[in-house]
Amino acid sequence: MSEQQQKIDLVNLARSLFERGYSVGGAGNISLRLSGNRFLVTPTGSSLGRLKAEDLSVLDSDGNLLEGKKPSKESVFHLAMYQRNPACNAIVHLHSTYLTALSCLDNLDPSNAINAFTPYYVMRVGKLPVIPYYRPGSPEIARELSERALDGKAFLLANHGVVVCGSDLFDAVDNTEELEETAKLMFLLKGQNVRYLTDDEVNDLKNRGK
């Protein structure tokens, strides 16, 4: 796939997320790994619904701007995750409604904020570790995500939002959408007698993906 097509895909997928209410205003950022140890990142303060391919930021592995507009201040944690996890080729960071609401709850399990109750959550994401609260743009977010980058495909930033990885951009977006839907279902089921998947059922799903 050409680099121009990768830019077009990012713009189109970002607009789709925005138009369906997964992001608002200038919130959220998306990135993907390019060839030559370079990375494509959405610009700072940009709306996911109004991106232009020619404005997208291209960075080297040290975060230096090679072309495009100034990158999101959160590009630092994107780069940290790419450097730590070679299987991660795209990252979606959103302040989507249900996952952000979940991130604001107290006493979440740091190792997994959502216990499995659908097979799709297991197959797409598996688990959702929680990163402690740091102000947006804090280098501590990059440090935490780098240290835990191999712990899963998605991470909930306390009082902030979600960070989701994928094998490519389409995979990262699909993982994010499934995770947001799972969080929505979690709130809809609150107070109900939920049947969670057993350990054997979860392991069966994981083994089928190998």
Catalytic residues: 74, 120
Please give the Cα distance from 101 to 79 (Å, whole number). 26
Which residue is it, tokens 């998605």?
A: 154
Residue type, 159: N
Element (H, E) at 79: helix 75-84
Provide the β-strand partners of residue 164: 92, 154
Are residues 60 and 66 in contact, defined by beta-carbon separation less than 8 angstroms? yes
Q: What is the DSSP letter of 26?
A: T
CA distances from 159 to 17, 67, 96, 106, 134 (A): 21, 32, 12, 9, 9
Q: Pairing state of beta strands 29-34 and 154-157? A: unpaired
The span from the CA of 111 to the CA of 151, in Å, is 9
Residues comprising the chain, all counted: 210
Let me know the angle formed at the C-alpha of 91 by 62 and 201, rounded to the nearest 5 degrees.
135
